C-alpha cells in the first residue's frame, strides 16, 4: 500500500507530531509511506529521526493564510506519488482544496481527529470538511471514543473508526515506584500553551506545599507561556520547588526520575504524554475531559479530577502522594496497561482501516 501522511508542521514536539513520526516508522516496514508537511519548520529531533529511518519527506513551503503556490506544490507531490491513501492530521483541507478541488481521485482521503471536531480549526477548514463529507470523499479516525461519538453527533452518518494513539514500548527496567531513582515527586510533560492550563497546576501546587513542604514538581516543555509560568511560580514563592526543563526532544529520562505524572489540560484527545508515563509505571493524575477517561480509570491507573477544579486536583495530588499501597497498585497496572497502546498495534489498526476504505 502507498500511503501519504500529512501534518501541518513539524516545528515543535506536540503529541500529534510525535505520534505521527512513530506511526510512519512502523508502517513503512511493510508499506510505502511518505511524509508531507505544509510548512518548512522542523524540530531537530524530528529531522534526526527522518534521516535515521530514511523517511521520504516533502514540504509544501506554505506561507500563512491562503497560499495558492503551496496548493500547486502539494498537487505536484501527490500526483508524483499517486498514493492509495492520504491520511492527514490537523488543519489541511484548505491547501488540499487548492490542489484538487472537490473532484474524486484514485486515492482515499482520511482525517485523524486529535481533538473534539470544531476545536483548533479554522472556519474554512470546517466548511470544506462538511463539503467533502457530503460528496463522500472523506473518512475519519477518532483517537478516543468520545472524539468519535462527538464527530458522529456533529456530522451524522460518516465513515469513522476509533483507533487509540500508540507509543513505542521499550524495556524500561525498573518501572515500579523505586524511590532511589526518583528526583521528582510530580512531572508534567506538556507544551506551555493556554489549553494546557499550567497556571492551575502551579497555583494548586502552592497549596499542596502547605501540606507537604518537602515535595517538588518538574515541568517539561517550552512554548509561549514558559516565562509567564516561571514568573507565576516566583510570585507565589515556590520557585525552589518547581523545575522547568524547557523543550525536551525525548522526555524518557525525566519519566524515570519521577514518581507521579500530572496533567491539567482544559481539553485533550488521547495524550501521548499520558501513555508514555503509564509505560514507565507512573500513576496518572489528569482532568476528566476528552479521551482521558477512556484510558485513565479512576483508582485503577490514576486519579481523575474536574476540569479547572483546584480543590479536586489538590485532593488527587494528596491522595496519590500519601497512599503508598494505591500508588504501587496503580504503578503495576500501568506497566501492563500501556502494552495495549503499543505503536505496533496502532499501526496494524490503521492499515486494516485503510484496507477497509480502499476495498
pLDDT in tens, 233-281: 999 999 999 999 988 878 889 999 999 999 999 988 889 999 999 999 9
Position 171 scores a pLDDT of: 57
Intervals of the chain under pLDDT 50: 173-176
What interhelical angle do 15-27 and 44-52 show, nearest 10?
Answer: 0
Residue 193 burial (C-beta neighbours within 10 Å; 0-12, 13-18, 19+)? middle
Position 40 scores a pLDDT of: 95
> Closest Cα to residue 165, out of 352, 354, 347?
347
Show the cell assigned to 177.
515506584
Position 172 scores a pLDDT of: 53
CA angle 157, 162, 168 (to 5 degrees): 160
Quickly tell me which residue has 513520526 as its cell.
21
CA-to-CA distance for 204 and 7, rounded, in angstroms?
35
Position 90 scores a pLDDT of: 83
pLDDT digits (tens, 9 = 90+) for 155-181: 999 999 999 999 988 655 444 455 556
Position 270 scores a pLDDT of: 86
Position 173 scores a pLDDT of: 47
DSSP secondary structure letters along 103-131:
---SSEEEEEESSSTTTT--HHHHHHHHH
Show the cell assigned to 42.
522542523
Show the cell assigned to 309.
477544579
> Closest Cα to residue 88, out of 138, 124, 45, 50?
138
Show the cell assigned to 185.
515527586
Amino acid at each position: 500500500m502507498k500511503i501519504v501522511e500529512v501534518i501541518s508542521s513539524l516545528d515543535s514536539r506536540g503529541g500529534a507530531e510525535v505520534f505521527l513520526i512513530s506511526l510512519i516508522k512502523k508502517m513503512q516496514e511493510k508499506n510505502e509511506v511518505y511524509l508531507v508537511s505544509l510548512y518548512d519548520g522542523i524540530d531537530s529531533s524530528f529531522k534526526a529521526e527522518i534521516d535515521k529511518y530514511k523517511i521520504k519527506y516533502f514540504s509544501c513551503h506554505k506561507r500563512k493564510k491562503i497560499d495558492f503556490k503551496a496548493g500547486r506544490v502539494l498537487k505536484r507531490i501527490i500526483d508524483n506519488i499517486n498514493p492509495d491513501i492520504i491520511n492527514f492530521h490537523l488543519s489541511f483541507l484548505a491547501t488540499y482544496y487548492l490542489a484538487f478541488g472537490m473532484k474524486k481521485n484514485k486515492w482515499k482521503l482520511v482525517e485523524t481527529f486529535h481533538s473534539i471536531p470544531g476545536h483548533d480549526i479554522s472556519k474554512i477548514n470546517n466548511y470544506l470538511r462538511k463539503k467533502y463529507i457530503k460528496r463522500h470523499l472523506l473518512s475519519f479516525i477518532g483517537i478516543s471514543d468520545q472524539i468519535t461519538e462527538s464527530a458522529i453527533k456533529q456530522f451524522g452518518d460518516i465513515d469513522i473508526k476509533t483507533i487509540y494513539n500508540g507509543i513505542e514500548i521499550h524495556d524500561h527496567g525498573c518501572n515500579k515506584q523505586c524511590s532511589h531513582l526518583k528526583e521528582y515527586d510530580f512531572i508534567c510533560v506538556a507544551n506551555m500553551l493556554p489549553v494546557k492550563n499550567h497556571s492551575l497546576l502551579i497555583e494548586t501546587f502552592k497549596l499542596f506545599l502547605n501540606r507537604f513542604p518537602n515535595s517538588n514538581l518538574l515541568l517539561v516543555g517550552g512554548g509561549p507561556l514558559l516565562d509567564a509560568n516561571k514568573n507565576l511560580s516566583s510570585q507565589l514563592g515556590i520557585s525552589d520547588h518547581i523545575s522547568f526543563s524547557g523543550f525536551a526532544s525525548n522526555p524518557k529520562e525525566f519519566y524515570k526520575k519521577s514518581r507521579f505524572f500530572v496533567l491539567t489540560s482544559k481539553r485533550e484527545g488521547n495524550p501521548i504524554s499520558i501513555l508514555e508515563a503509564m509505560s514507565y509505571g507512573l500513576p496518572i493524575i489528569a482532568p476528566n475531559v476528552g479521551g482521558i477517561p477512556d484510558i485513565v480509570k479512576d483508582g485503577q491507573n490514576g486519579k481523575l479530577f474536574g476540569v479547572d477544579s483546584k480543590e479536586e486536583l489538590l485532593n488527587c495530588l494528596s491522595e496519590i502522594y500519601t497512599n503508598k499501597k494505591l500508588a504501587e497498585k496503580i504503578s503495576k497496572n500501568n506497566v501492563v496497561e500501556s502494552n495495549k497502546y503499543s505503536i505496533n498495534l496502532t499501526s496494524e489498526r490503521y492499515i486494516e482501516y485503510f484496507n477497509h476504505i480502499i476495498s
